[in-house]
């Protein structure tokens, strides 16, 4: 319980902080509090994932501290929104990109996510992204737009391409996270409210997906293929949620992508917009493959109809599912 409350405390501190030290402390509290949650299962893969996570996040926090201290040294300003030293601003961007797992600093994310159980992976993919984005959203006019665009486009490319050969669901979700974060970071300099919209919708959709996989108790494509016999309603919901993650209209996952592309074309960034749209097709392919396996095809040797129903605690996901799929485009 002290761990979960410290997770909440850390993110809250980063949200309310206006001094760099307080913001840094919030990020460190988040890292520290999630370490024992990750290692709860005690097998060597979880231990390795925890070690990798700790080292990468500690490096990112150190870089962030270094950037803020350099900024304070050269300009005397500890306030979060006054970052007058451009080197510090670039270093902050790189540090936060390492924190959330943007390409080319994404290499830890698939292996770390693979080593965790689905609930801890959910906390890592959704809650831990809130605090760094709070910093990025406050800093957006001071960051280098070329660097942000490069990080974003590279993330969509690697997120799409890297997820193609995966059969483990957690690694697929890791690459989908990389691609979605790429979309979010691209538009940060031009329209940060779209970044926020994309972040919120991504959190809702990923929450839904992780909870679905938890209910089906499956971590591979093989085991989710027999999900339509366990609960046909939930596998149809899985279909819609996965297509929403892929960004198909009329589901709500299309809305941020459309608005981001529109904003990019308004800024005359046609080539980045085209590249990102094309690379999202790659990630759509592996979402579609998941849909194939779960809903659209029957598994050989189907068990005879529905087995025992799940108990009540998982039903709160239904509220999120409705918002994930059936919200209309504005």
Partner 1 sequence: MMYFMFVMMIGLILGLMGVASNPSPYYAALGLVTAAGVGCGLLVGHGGSFMSLILFLIYLGGMLVVFAYTAALAAEPYPESWGDWSVLLYVGLYLVGLFVSGKYFMVKGWGLHWTGVEELSNLDMVRGDFLGVALLYSDGGWMLVLGGWVLLLTLFVVLELTRGLSWGTLRVV
Positions touching partner 1 (CB under 8 A) are: 2-3, 6, 9, 13, 25, 28-29, 32-33, 35-36, 39, 42, 47
Q: How far is CA 75 from the centre of its chain?
A: 34
The smaller minimum CB distance to partner 1, of residues 29 and 291, is found at 29
Interatomic CA distance for residues 127 and 30, integer angstroms: 9
Smallest separation (angstroms) from partner 1 to the CB of 42: 5
The smaller minimum CB distance to partner 1, of residues 51 and 267, is found at 51
Smallest separation (angstroms) from partner 1 to the CB of 114: 17
Smallest separation (angstroms) from partner 1 to the CB of 6: 5
The smaller minimum CB distance to partner 1, of residues 34 and 239, is found at 34
The smaller minimum CB distance to partner 1, of residues 4 and 164, is found at 4
The smaller minimum CB distance to partner 1, of residues 13 and 239, is found at 13
The CA-based angle 55-58-60, given to 5 degrees, is 110
CB 229 within 8 A of CB 302: yes
Q: How far is CA 282 from CA 175, 203, 278, in A?
A: 11, 21, 7
Smallest separation (angstroms) from partner 1 to the CB of 43: 9
CB 228 within 8 A of CB 299: yes
The position carrying tokens 């690459």 is: 175
Smallest separation (angstroms) from partner 1 to the CB of 13: 8
Helices (H), 164-253: 169-186, 192-216, 221-224, 227-230, 232-246
């Amino acid at each position: 319980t002290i761990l979960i409350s410290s997770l909440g405390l850390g993110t809250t501190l980063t949200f309310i902080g206006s001094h760099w030290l307080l913001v840094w402390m919030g990020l460190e509290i988040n890292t520290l509090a999630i370490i024992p949650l990750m290692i709860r299962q005690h097998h060597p893969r979880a231990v390795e994932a925890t070690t990798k996570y700790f080292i990468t996040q500690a490096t990112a926090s150190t870089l962030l501290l270094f950037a803020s201290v350099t900024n304070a040294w050269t300009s005397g300003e500890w306030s979060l929104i006054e970052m007058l030293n451009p080197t510090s601003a670039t270093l902050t961007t790189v540090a936060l990109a390492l924190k959330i797992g943007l390409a080319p600093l994404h290499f830890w994310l698939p292996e770390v996510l693979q080593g965790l159980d689905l609930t801890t992976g959910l906390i890592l993919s959704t809650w831990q992204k809130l605090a760094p984005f709070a910093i990025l959203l406050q800093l957006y006019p001071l960051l280098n737009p070329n660097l942000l665009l490069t990080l974003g486009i590279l993330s969509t490319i690697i997120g799409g391409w890297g997820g193609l050969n995966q059969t483990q669901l957690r690694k697929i979700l890791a690459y989908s996270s990389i691609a979605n974060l790429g979309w979010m970071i691209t538009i940060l300099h031009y329209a940060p409210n779209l970044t926020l919209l994309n972040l919120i919708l991504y959190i809702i959709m990923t929450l839904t997906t992780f909870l679905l996989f938890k209910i089906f108790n499956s971590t591979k494509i093989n085991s989710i293929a027999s999900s339509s016999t366990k609960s046909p309603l939930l596998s149809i919901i899985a279909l819609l949620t996965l297509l929403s993650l892929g960004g198909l209209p009329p589901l709500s996952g299309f809305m941020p992508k459309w608005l981001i592309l529109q904003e990019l074309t308004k800024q005359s960034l046609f080539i980045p917009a085209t590249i990102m749209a094309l690379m999202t097709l790659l990630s759509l392919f592996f979402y579609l493959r998941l849909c194939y396996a779960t809903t659209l095809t029957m598994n050989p040797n189907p068990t005879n109809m529905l087995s025992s129903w799940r108990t009540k605690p998982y039903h709160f996901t239904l509220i999120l599912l409705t918002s994930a799929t059936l919200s209309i485009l504005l």
